Structure 1
Amino acid sequence: MTEPISVPVLFVTEPVLLPGMVVPLALDDAARAAVDAAQAHNDGKLLVAPRLEDRYPSFGVIASIVQIGRVPGGGQAVVVKGEHRAQIGSGTTGPGSALWVEVTEVDEPTITDETKALAAEYKKLVLAMLQRREAWQLIDAVNKMSDPSDLADTSGYASWLTEVQKRQLLETPDVNERLQTLIDWTAEHIAETEVSEKIAEDVRTGMDKQQKEFLLRQQLAAIRKELGEDEPDGADDYRTRVEQAELPDNVREAAMREVGKLERSSDQSPETGWIRTWLDTVLDLPWNTTTDDNTDIAGAREILDADHHGLDDVKDRIVEYLAVRARRAQRGLQVVGGRGSGAVMVLAGPPGVGKTSLGESVARALGRKFVRVALGGVRDEAEIRGHRRTYVGALPGRIVRAIGEAGSMNPVVLLDEIDKVGSDFRGDPAAALLEVLDPAQNHTFRDHYLDLDLDLSDVVFLATANVIENIPSALLDRMELVTIDGYTEDDKVAIARDYLLPRQRERAALEESEVSVTDEALREIAADYTREPGVRQFERMLAKMMRKVATNLAAEKATAPVTVEKSDLVDYLGRPRFTPESEERTAVPGVATGLAVTGMGGDVLFIEANSTDSDGKPGLQLTGQLGDVMKESAQIALSYVRAHADSLGVDPEALNRTIHVHVPAGAVPKDGPSAGVTMTTALVSMATGRKVRADVGMTGEVTLNGRVLPIGGLKQKLLAAQRNGLKTIFIPARNESDLDDVPAEVLDALEVKPMTDVAEIVAQALEPAEQAVSQAA
């Protein structure tokens, strides 16, 4: 460093002066004194240093006075040029009233290769900044600079650096450190500038596009106006469409209110899109469109009989509906829109009995449009009632959409799988269906999206369900229940011969002259290959058979015509899946055959009882995933047997053990009251050692006094008994009236015995004892 020198000092708030800079400075009294002292005693040299509030400055710039004058406002000013960076020492005295300090000039640093590399990098960034601003004169000046320190000190002119940053540069004598700091700051600023410019460009482009679209839209409107054409998507077009549409008065008033809102709203408003979508939905609905019903009662019945075998209950109900409608029309009574004039029915039965396909046949018989609404797994109430229009992506509910899809106000709407509707935090769709399916209310059904009354009273609603118990009671109360319990073996053969076999022949590209199946083969398939209440699996078996026939004909392994006999089924379908097992299962004491109803229809249920030594402590153990009702039935049955041991021929000591009651297929949940008599019979069989007859099945609820109480699902249970080869069935006496619904061929194949006392069932169900009453081991 050089020797210290004394110079007057001029403190400035801004700007920060760096070596090489020429700046004007306003003069106050202190600054005037420093300038006068510099001119009079120091050859016009003075120190310019930043004024700091928190500390005394450590560095300044020795500057020379270039000119003294006045600023445009009239005040005095001085133009100074920075020359050397100097380190400020202690204060000293000097002539005049100015403040003098001792300073030491900072030596110029040695230029190294690192310094040159940093200078080149910084120059590149500075030139990039200046090119963005198109400052061509400054670009030339920067290009001419070769000294790294001078290049770094030009940052004093940089508008993107703050005063604090510039003071930091002033107080950094090392040129390498100064250049590195400037490179970091400048690169960061360039990155921020690029992002800001991109955002500004995007905003400007978007605004330009909106302005362009607005201008073009205004020009297009003016051109259409001159040509006398209406704008297709404008509010005027909606007003015309509403005025010309055939709408009910209340709907027209609501639509005109929305058209008024559309006319007053801006095209950029999101509400405009909502209103247009709502108006399009309303205008697309068939408010006053209906189809004429078929008044030919005999013809409608022929259509139903041609499409489905049996199902007389639902066919009779549809024919009755047509007959009433025809008589009301003849007498000039209200037919369309009358309260409760529509029909609401639920077809309940196991899978595969034709519930869904029956809806299409009903529509054809009535001469109406058909729409299917799948409800399985629906958990959102808005699926039925629609969404509020304020929600993004709002839509009307499925009922309104079905009406729009049908194109008429009196279609046949099939609500498929209504027993599989769920509920969660989004609401209860089953509760929303109450208004839809209530004949006394659905003439004013209100969808949340439309917010208008929709008349559903002339719609024929058909619902399907597998399990009636899964339908909420309030909903079931609003519908007519028509049960389809399944088909008998004769029914299945007739259905296969008249419907299934022709359809599968056609799908396999076979002619009737090329392949035929005997009735004995069809009966064997129904009995031993597909024990089901419906015919879905039956049709799959026929499809498999037709594919094999087609394959054999193509491979020349067979020649037409092919006749499938009963003996050929093993070759086409494999071995039978079902064989009679009642005789095998009841070959030991303690096993009784009961009848049950599941979601798949009727079925047989084997109940087993056994006992183990319990050291004189009697107990009851239940297995087979039984529900609470079946557990109670087992306890009641055991209590009854213990209380009436003498009359039943049971040694009381045989029951003072741990009694184990098991219902096989433990992975399947089981519940219901109809197993009481079966459990009682199994317990007596176990205790006496007498086997239960293999051809006997039974159903009924039992009381502690041995009374046999009625049960449900009798028809499905008897169909299951026939399918499984049982011959004698014990039922509650109070269910005898239900036998009217059972097909005659089923009753001919079974000996159905109504009973009132479980002791009578036990006496007739057990095989005769070879000796006196034996005790259970």
Structure 2
Amino acid sequence: MDKLPVLFVSDAVVLPGMVVPIELDEAAQAAIDAARAGSESRLLVAPRLGDRYATYGAVATIERVGRFRGGEPAAVLRAVGRAKIGSGVTGPGAALWVEVEPATETTTEHAKELAEEYKRLVVAVLQRREAWPVIDQVNRLTEPSEIADTAGYAPYLDDEAKRELLETPDVEERLEKVIAWAKDHIAESEVSDKIAEDVREGMEKTQREFLLRQQLAAIRKELGEGEPEGSDDYRARVEAADLPEAVREAALREVDKLERGSEQNPETAWIRTWLDTVLELPWGVVTEDSTDVTAAREVLDADHHGLEEVKDRIVEYLAVRARRAERGLQVIGGRGSGAVVLLAGPPGVGKTSLGESVARSLGRKFVRVALGGVRDEAEIRGHRRTYVGALPGRIVRAIKEAGSMNPVVLLDEVDKVGSDYRGDPAAALLEVLDPAQNHTFRDHYLELDLDLSDVLFIATANVVEQIPSALLDRMELVTIDGYTEDDKVAIARDFLLPRQLERAAVTPAEVTVSDDALRELAANYTREAGVRQLERLLAKALRKAATRLATGTEHVEVDLDNLKDLVGRPRFTPESAERTSVPGVATGLAVTGLGGDVLFIEASAADGQTGLNITGQLGDVMKESAQIALSFVRSHAAELGVDPAVLDRSLHVHVPAGAVPKDGPSAGITMVTALTSLATGRPVRSEVGMTGEVSLSGRVLPIGGLKQKLLAAQRAGLTEVFVPQRNEPDLDEVPEDVKQALKINLVSDVRDVVRGALAAATGNATTKSSVAAA
């Protein structure tokens, strides 16, 4: 083994064949001095990467000792071979001496083939850089080991890779590594060159298009032609538009961005779209309201029958605005001056068409916004304009469509607004419908304050309970519960029939419809709160009449005699008498999304384990009502004249139409009556209906929707109803003809209901006595 001074360098890896300059610090100077003094000017140069020392180094000779241009001492070393570092030994001077074992290298035919392949790769890399002198030097190399060690000059290899080469004494293995690295580098270089070429071509194309556009603009200027359509001067348009000051400033800021940017800037397109939207909004356009209260009421009466409460509300709104205008008070805009009305009621009662009549009576523009099924909050507030395909919300689009800042906006089906991962549109409507906030409504797309305080919002809904309480609190509730039979006949005569005669292209002289036929259609062919199905039946009858006229008949009269031939058999017949003919069945009154309806509750008993089975797809509230009703009947069996043993059987309470979900706090007294009827064997009177919740002590609790339930009772042919005493104030809303057609019993104790609802006891009754005190 040889003994050489060692020089550890941390900023480079020296491979055999390389000539490198080394700056001489104290340790390097000691190694150079030791080499020149005792080892034939040879020393070992080894890399030091981090805290680890190499196991191999390069044996180097000192070519020259001098200084760099800056005056720092330096030495030029030539690496002539690699050697394995052994243990440390002592030697002259202050340098570190180690034993070294020169690496033995054998040249094989395979190594020569690998060397030629690597040489071709190196030449290919150098040709890309046009380093022709270096290429000549590489071509003169013949030894595989020398060719492999030229990788020490490769700039694409890091120090770790070069150290790996230094510590690989086998020539073939070393060549395989450098070949793989060279191929990877060439592949990366080709991709980079391709990207650079594409970028350069794109820049050249952009510059060429810019030059051509400038030339085109100069040519148009010389010819006296304007800009093509759609490229108007936005600055002039903004300055000429009647915009609020804050809106003008925001628009001019966007115009500045547009003028500074190029046509290729992706922001240009959405800035233009935003400016177009802002300029198309009717910022300063306001229609003048009609302040003639009498004329407005005439318009409402001409378009709709009944609906006195809604008409009164609109006339009151007009009267207040007229007085404010007379006294010089602010009428247009201003915080909290808007009105938000919620029209709630079953389908077909005229909620949507009433909005059009309100707009006509006021002399305002009318816009309808359908909210049914809307689940995306952006549909109300708008999208952020940086998104592709961004649009303002439906409220802003409605104002734009109306062409004025004070239209009548009908928010249709507000109870059918949903929510999911895209947000809660109902929550977004809170700001729109709050008169104290909507004077500064901010759409996400516009990002500008929009004054909605003078917009008359009219919302419609079928089921008030489905509207979030916070949203319902922002609106003034006006209920439209439905029409009586007389109302339906009047509506059909005055509104529906003329419209359908026109659509069927027949005249009143050719087809006449009797009032008796209209009443029959309203009573036995439809069972609805509104008049939508009634209008469909009228249309069907007129189509049949038109067919007869086309076949030679001169005149068709629609009356009771030929009604079945024209529209078919009656679809509804009174069934209360049939359903309640047996004990255990009671007729209740309920409210659904389609209005009021009758609800039959059946109870039966069978031998078996004591218990209560409840069916009919009932909600939790109605299931609890059944449990409460059974508990009350059992605990007050003596008062009700019921043998307690009769109730200690397997009881079954069923509400027919099991496919329809049913829930709500209004069936308690009906269930008590049905169970008492079952236990006493006395059927419930067929002409009696009832509604009300019951407590464990027998108190009758108030319910909602009384008007709709009484209308349903009249439609079903009932003549007597039991309602809670605490609902007496609600009777003021019930039409007089309904109150005259029904005997309305106000009750506070369920025992009164049982006394009045059950038929008189007969000899076949299963109980020993009648109802307690009766």
Bucket of the pairwise TM-score, normalised by the shorter protein = 0.7 to 0.9
The whole-number CA distance in structure 1 between the counterparts of 2:165 and 2:296 is 100
The whole-number CA distance in structure 2 between the counterparts of 1:149 and 1:560 is 115
The whole-number CA distance in structure 2 between the counterparts of 1:15 and 1:474 is 73
Partner of 1:118: 114
Q: Work out whether residues 344 and 461 of structure 2, in 8 Å CA contact, stay in contact via their aligned partners in 1.
A: yes
Instruction: Report the CA distance between 1:771 and its aligned residue.
Output: 2.0
Q: Work out whether residues 10 and 47 of structure 1, in 8 Å CA contact, stay in contact via their aligned partners in 2.
A: no
Partner of 1:693: 685
Q: Give the secondary-structure state (helix, strand or coil) at the position aligned to 1:597.
A: strand
**Aligned in 2, Cα 1:105/1:765: closer, same or farther, shift over 3 Å?**
closer
**Which aligned pairs between 1:102-113 and structure 2 lie closer than 5 A?**
106=104, 108-112=106-110
* Larger CA deviation: 675-684 vs 638-647: 638-647
Listed one character per residue, the Cα deviations across residues 532-574 of structure 1 (whole Å, up to 9, x for unaligned) are 3234455667788899999x99xx9x88889799899999988
Q: Does 2:709 match 1:717? A: yes
Give 2:46's aligned amino acid. R
Partner of 1:160: 156
Aligned residue among 279, 288, 303 for 1:292:
288
**Which aligned pairs between 1:602-621 and structure 2 lie closer than 5 A?**
602-612=596-606
Partner of 1:352: 348
The whole-number CA distance in structure 1 between the counterparts of 2:30 and 2:653 is 114
Q: Does 2:438 match 1:447? A: no
Partner of 2:479: 483
Instruction: Report the CA distance between 1:186 and its aligned residue.
Output: 1.6
Partner of 2:594: 600
Instruction: Report the CA distance between 1:290 and its aligned residue.
Output: 1.0
Q: Work out whether residues 529 and 578 of structure 1, in 8 Å CA contact, stay in contact via their aligned partners in 2.
A: yes
The whole-number CA distance in structure 2 between the counterparts of 1:110 and 1:605 is 102
Instruction: Report the CA distance between 1:413 and its aligned residue.
Output: 1.6
Instruction: Report the CA distance between 1:353 and its aligned residue.
Output: 2.4
The whole-number CA distance in structure 1 between the counterparts of 2:85 and 2:60 is 10
Instruction: Report the CA distance between 1:462 and its aligned residue.
Output: 0.9
Aligned residue among 129, 135, 148 for 1:133:
129
Q: Work out whether residues 378 and 393 of structure 2, in 8 Å CA contact, stay in contact via their aligned partners in 1.
A: yes
Give 1:111's aligned amino acid. E
**Which aligned pairs between 1:49-448 and structure 2 lie closer than 5 A?**
49-51=44-46, 73=69, 82=80, 106=104, 108-112=106-110, 115=111, 118-119=114-115, 121-139=117-135, 142=138, 148-162=144-158, 165-166=161-162, 168-193=164-189, 245-246=241-242, 251-252=244-245, 256=249, 285-295=281-291, 300-301=296-297, 303-304=299-300, 307-322=303-318, 325-326=321-322, 329=325, 334-337=330-333, 342-376=338-372, 399-421=395-417, 436-437=432-433, 441=436, 444-447=439-442
The whole-number CA distance in structure 1 between the counterparts of 2:19 and 2:381 is 78
Instruction: Report the CA distance between 1:485 and its aligned residue.
Output: 1.6
Partner of 2:583: 589
Listed one character per residue, the Cα deviations across residues 696-733 of structure 1 (whole Å, up to 9, x for unaligned) are 32234556786766543233223323443434444456
Partner of 2:506: 512
Q: Give the secondary-structure state (helix, strand or coil) at the position aligned to 1:353.
A: coil
The whole-number CA distance in structure 1 between the counterparts of 2:349 and 2:64 is 110
The whole-number CA distance in structure 2 between the counterparts of 1:476 and 1:764 is 39
Listed one character per residue, the Cα deviations across residues 234-290 of structure 1 (whole Å, up to 9, x for unaligned) are xxx88876765545xxx5267548858997999589999999998877665544321
The whole-number CA distance in structure 2 between the counterparts of 1:143 and 1:549 is 106
Q: Give the secondary-structure state (helix, strand or coil) at the position aligned to 1:359.
A: helix
Listed one character per residue, the Cα deviations across residues 393-417 of structure 1 (whole Å, up to 9, x for unaligned) are 9987654554344332221022223
Q: Give the secondary-structure state (helix, strand or coil) at the position aligned to 1:51.
A: strand
**Aligned in 2, Cα 1:159/1:597: closer, same or farther, shift over 3 Å?**
closer
Q: Work out whether residues 10 and 31 of structure 1, in 8 Å CA contact, stay in contact via their aligned partners in 2.
A: no
**Aligned in 2, Cα 1:687/1:190: closer, same or farther, shift over 3 Å?**
same
**Aligned in 2, Cα 1:38/1:467: closer, same or farther, shift over 3 Å?**
closer
Instruction: Report the CA distance between 1:690 and its aligned residue.
Output: 1.9
Q: Give the secondary-structure state (helix, strand or coil) at the position aligned to 1:674.
A: coil
Aligned residue among 727, 752, 764 for 2:743:
752
The whole-number CA distance in structure 2 between the counterparts of 1:344 and 1:258 is 31
The whole-number CA distance in structure 1 between the counterparts of 2:369 and 2:339 is 17
Name the Cα RMSD after superposition. Answer: 6.1
Q: Work out whether residues 290 and 361 of structure 2, in 8 Å CA contact, stay in contact via their aligned partners in 1.
A: yes
Q: Work out whether residues 690 and 768 of structure 1, in 8 Å CA contact, stay in contact via their aligned partners in 2.
A: yes
The whole-number CA distance in structure 2 between the counterparts of 1:402 and 1:704 is 53
Q: Give the secondary-structure state (helix, strand or coil) at the position aligned to 2:767.
A: coil
Listed one character per residue, the Cα deviations across residues 495-515 of structure 1 (whole Å, up to 9, x for unaligned) are 5677667878888xx643799
* Larger CA deviation: 389-398 vs 120-129: 389-398
Q: Work out whether residues 385 and 446 of structure 1, in 8 Å CA contact, stay in contact via their aligned partners in 2.
A: no
The whole-number CA distance in structure 2 between the counterparts of 1:536 and 1:130 is 87
Listed one character per residue, the Cα deviations across residues 53-111 of structure 1 (whole Å, up to 9, x for unaligned) are 67786675698x9x8697774878668695x77889999999xx999999778465221
The whole-number CA distance in structure 1 between the counterparts of 2:460 and 2:16 is 93
The whole-number CA distance in structure 2 between the counterparts of 1:152 and 1:726 is 108
Give 1:592's aligned amino acid. A
Q: Work out whether residues 625 and 670 of structure 1, in 8 Å CA contact, stay in contact via their aligned partners in 2.
A: yes
Q: Percent identity, please.
A: 64
Q: Work out whether residues 587 and 694 of structure 1, in 8 Å CA contact, stay in contact via their aligned partners in 2.
A: yes
* Larger CA deviation: 301-310 vs 214-223: 214-223
**Aligned in 2, Cα 1:559/1:197: closer, same or farther, shift over 3 Å?**
farther
**Aligned in 2, Cα 1:436/1:152: closer, same or farther, shift over 3 Å?**
closer
**Aligned in 2, Cα 1:206/1:576: closer, same or farther, shift over 3 Å?**
farther
Partner of 2:465: 469
**Aligned in 2, Cα 1:548/1:142: closer, same or farther, shift over 3 Å?**
farther
The whole-number CA distance in structure 1 between the counterparts of 2:621 and 2:420 is 27
**Aligned in 2, Cα 1:178/1:565: closer, same or farther, shift over 3 Å?**
farther
What's the TM-score, normalizing by structure 2? Answer: 0.73
Instruction: Report the CA distance between 1:681 and its aligned residue.
Output: 2.5
The whole-number CA distance in structure 2 between the counterparts of 1:374 and 1:486 is 22
Unpaired stretches in structure 2, ≥5 consecutive residues: 770-774
Instruction: Report the CA distance between 1:605 and its aligned residue.
Output: 0.8
The whole-number CA distance in structure 1 between the counterparts of 2:274 and 2:561 is 65
Instruction: Report the CA distance between 1:758 and its aligned residue.
Output: 5.2
The whole-number CA distance in structure 2 between the counterparts of 1:497 and 1:141 is 110
Q: Does 2:671 match 1:675? A: no
Listed one character per residue, the Cα deviations across residues 595-643 of structure 1 (whole Å, up to 9, x for unaligned) are 111222111111122345678x8x7665545556546655665566567
Give 2:442's aligned amino acid. D
